[in-house]
Chains A and B, each alone.
Chain A
Amino acid sequence: MGPMMRCLLLSFLLLLSGLVQAGEVLRVLAWPGYADADLVRQFEARHRVRVDVITVDSDDELWRRMRANEGRDIDVFAVNTAELQRYINEGIALALDPARIPRIQFQQPAFRDAAAIPGLTRGGRVYGVPYAHASMGLIYNRKLVSTPPDSINALWDPRYRGQVLAFDGSSHNFSLAAMALGKPPFKLAAGDWRPVLEKLIGLRRNVLTFYAQPEEAVELFRSNAVALVFANYGSQQVRALEDAGADIAYVIPREGALAWLDCWVINSASLRRKLAEAWIDFSLEAPMSRALTERHGLANTLDPDKGEPGGGLIWLQPVEDVERRTRLWEKIRAGDRLERF
């Protein structure tokens, strides 16, 4: 067989494989860093399909896309446990059979036990497979803090007055204050509000300021003496500070750290469930899961968290009254004294 013939045969085979691949398309809706192109190509090659990855960068955008065109545009998507509730309510999330996704057994025990993760199950049925997560622990400045803080209450430590960076967010701050007081973070009881308010005013009096963006925190860290930072953006923020040359460390306090957990969910309208299950299984293989950590600073579900002994992670859940928390937080931030509440 001459080189010419070989060449022709090769092109023919390539064309044929292209046709086969073009036959089936898996549409994945994910967050930046969840499905890098090189890994997606591996999946495509293995299953002889094409994968369309669409990325979103906010919960609202995700919700809008899943609702558009009756949700038929997407087969599988990634959503956090607190948000998952409304997808289950709307019947968008499909109940899964964990046996069909064999690599679940290689996840860390905390993620294997779906029932122990609030919001992941309903009526005994599992609706998502944990894939990526990030915790909101404490960052401390090794130059100013000699012993690593082991409690959330370090944020209130008068030694660090004017040296604490807290986050300008109503929901998380109320949860944080509740945790500091040893109360359930997401469901404040009627009698809890007053002590939590007092606690938050105490926090306000102890902080340098409340930041909103991770870059802003870096900037403040650089131009002020900052001892402690509430890491709302988790390990990503740790990396940003380290990149800026800060001498810092990250801890999970003994009360635990708030954390968000993104799970793969299959769209109930999808006609490609098998392929979607294969995708989820593939994402739990080491190359793809570890890319989350190595490339993007997010935590995966295969490896134990590094340097996060503490009290473990407290997965975000819907809070009892978003509006009330927001309203009160605005007054706190404005500087109202306790007598005004």
Chain B
Amino acid sequence: MQIGIAPRLALVLAVFAVLASGLTGYYAYDTSRRLLVERAEKNLLTATQVLGQRLVVALGNAAKDARLLASQAGRESGGEEVLARAALALLQVHPEYFQVRLIDGRQHGLERLRLDRDGQRITRVQGLELQEKAHQLYVSQTLRLTPGQVYLSRIFINRETGAHAGFERPTLIVATPVPLADGVSHSGRLAVINIDLETLFRDMRMELPGDLKVYLTNEWGDFLIHPDPTQTFGFDQGRRVLLQDHFPDARPIVAGEMDSVVVSSGEGAQGGLVAAFHRVQPPDFASQRFFIMGLAEPLDYVLREARLLADNMWRIVLSFSFLALLLAWLVSRAVTRPLEQILLAVRRFAAGDSGGSAPLPVQRRDEVGLLARGMEDMQSQIRSQVEALEESRQAMAHLAHHDALTGLPNRVTFFDRLEHAMAQARRQGRKLAVLFLDLDHFKEVNDQYGHQVGDQLLQAVARRIQTGVRESDTAARLSGDEFVVLLNPVHNGEEARLVAEKLLQRFRELLELEELALPVQVSIGISLFPDHGVSAQALVDAADGAMYRSKNAGRDTCSMAEPASPPAA
């Protein structure tokens, strides 16, 4: 299959344009995607650090509150009502505290003062409902501290029945010993604040966008908060669900080698996440306990702007491609149209349709215009050459059918016309006549005045014969000084004889040549069709014979041919 320049050009242009816009779009998308992930990572890390700081501040406040309560208990020995009011105030101010207590380590850890959050209310637990807590680590561990130091528990699931709130909830305990008056030793009592981690985090995450996932692990990487609650406190059910298993890139932070890590999990079990983890170590406590805080955002969500961009990019790429196609078509048309015009002109020219030939775009000022002008020049050159050829061809044709000297039809033409006329006459049942003329004494003229005068004489004779017959008649020179005339039509021999007589009459006048006037006379023989022959040659021969009889009869006369043998059918 042949493909024209136009589609080829259009295709190349279009492919180029589509490629260019497509590649630009792809790289823009890729770059923006990378930038979005980087930005999300940075934002997440910042948010994680801020959230971690909030946890540090919240725990710091709890430590402060515990110290305050302990020092109050130390000062006002016996003034339980005052302490109860202070504990109540703490619970009212901090929705994340669900229990504030004063415990006496000397009586198996019996609770001396206990206020529980109970839904919207705050209940003071009294009498037999007060429990013994010496077997809880927070009691023994706190009593090992000196006043002012604060114990921070692990985060655990609270299984202590009897509390009004916080049962089965992730809990953190902050406790500090009650100081004696000397401020150095303690009384064996301790102030304890139970913090509900869920409430604490619910308040903290209020400020976060809703699609952020929050993670919290202990120092070993066990999940304590996880978007999927079944993944939390795995150790509580005899299995470990560890940060470092879910996010292998977060291992250094569990190992204590790094304070922060940013993780982009691929299309893993989490379905693609960008996550930041940060080590949070509350500074207000006796232990070196730390937590790992994490925030994650679905990659989908991070990339939704990129997707938006991709959608737009597609649209732009498509419309650019469409524009490019259109442009390519227009450009190719602009280039090929004048070429087509030229082609059309050439075709028409070639077809010889020179009259209505298509116009060439000669007015253009570019290469195409140049080409058109060249084509035009060539056309006119060809045209003039063709004309010259035609002229010479016509001259040749004239020469072939006419006598070169006199311009009269030659023998061939005469016989041709005679046969045509005979055929016609036969059909129509008409007659025609042939006059055979021979100059008298032409030889003497030739001898006397030379060939040039002879020739002038023949030309003059021809003119005289020509002007002496009708338009419809044909005069021709057969050879030398022999001329024939076809009279078509004639009604009878008499009519032919009259024409011959008339010719004889004309020849009786002097022939005016260039330098002299000469008397020339002719002898004429007449034959009639079909009377004297039914073939051209027979007719001419019959006229020739009649002409000889005229010569014999003394010249300057005309004779009718003898009746011939009966005409053929």
Q: Are B235 and A209 in contact (CB under 8 A)?
A: no
Q: Are B161 and A205 in contact (CB under 8 A)?
A: no
CA of A209 to CA of B132, assembled, Å: 12
Which stretch in A17-25, A257-265, A272-280, A327-335 binds the other chain?
A327-335
Q: Are B135 and A334 in contact (CB under 8 A)?
A: no
Q: Are A208 and B140 in contact (CB under 8 A)?
A: yes
* B360 shortest CB reach to chain A, Å: 88
Chain B residues, Cβ within 8 Å of A213: 235, 238
Chain B residues, Cβ within 8 Å of A330: 159, 161
CA of A149 to CA of B137, assembled, Å: 25
Given contacts A208-B140, A209-B135, A210-B135, contact A337 B128 (CB under 8 A): yes
Q: Are A162 and B140 in contact (CB under 8 A)?
A: yes
Q: Are A331 and B161 in contact (CB under 8 A)?
A: yes
Given contacts A333-B159, A334-B161, A334-B162, contact A340 B128 (CB under 8 A): yes
Within 8 A of A (CB), among B134-155: 134-137, 140
Chain B residues, Cβ within 8 Å of A340: 128-129
Q: Are B108 and A205 in contact (CB under 8 A)?
A: yes
Contact with A along B107-137 (1 / 0, CB 8 A): 0110100000000000000001101111111
A38 at the interface (CB under 8 A from B): no
A27 at the interface (CB under 8 A from B): no
Residue of B nearest to A208 (CB): B140
Residue of A nearest to B287 (CB): A223
Q: Are B140 and A335 in contact (CB under 8 A)?
A: no
Within 8 A of B (CB), among A185-239: 204-205, 207-210, 213, 220, 224
Size bin of chain A's contact surface: 20 to 34
Within 8 A of B (CB), among A121-162: 162
* B286 shortest CB reach to chain A, Å: 12
Number of interface residues of B (CB under 8 A): 20
Chain A residues, Cβ within 8 Å of B140: 162, 208-209, 224
Main secondary structure of the interface of A (DSSP, over half): mixed
CA of A339 to CA of B111, assembled, Å: 15
Given contacts A162-B140, A213-B235, contact A208 B160 (CB under 8 A): no
CA of A209 to CA of B142, assembled, Å: 14
CA of A208 to CA of B105, assembled, Å: 12
Chain B residues, Cβ within 8 Å of A224: 140
* B351 shortest CB reach to chain A, Å: 86
Given contacts A330-B161, A334-B162, A335-B162, contact A204 B128 (CB under 8 A): no
A52 at the interface (CB under 8 A from B): no
CA of A209 to CA of B135, assembled, Å: 5
Of B108, B128, B137, B159, which is within 8 A of A334 by CB?
B159
Residue of A nearest to B162 (CB): A334
Residues of B that sit less than 8 Å from A by CB:
108-109, 111, 128-129, 131-137, 140, 159-163, 235, 238
Closest 3 A/B residue pairs (Cβ): A335-B131, A334-B161, A335-B132
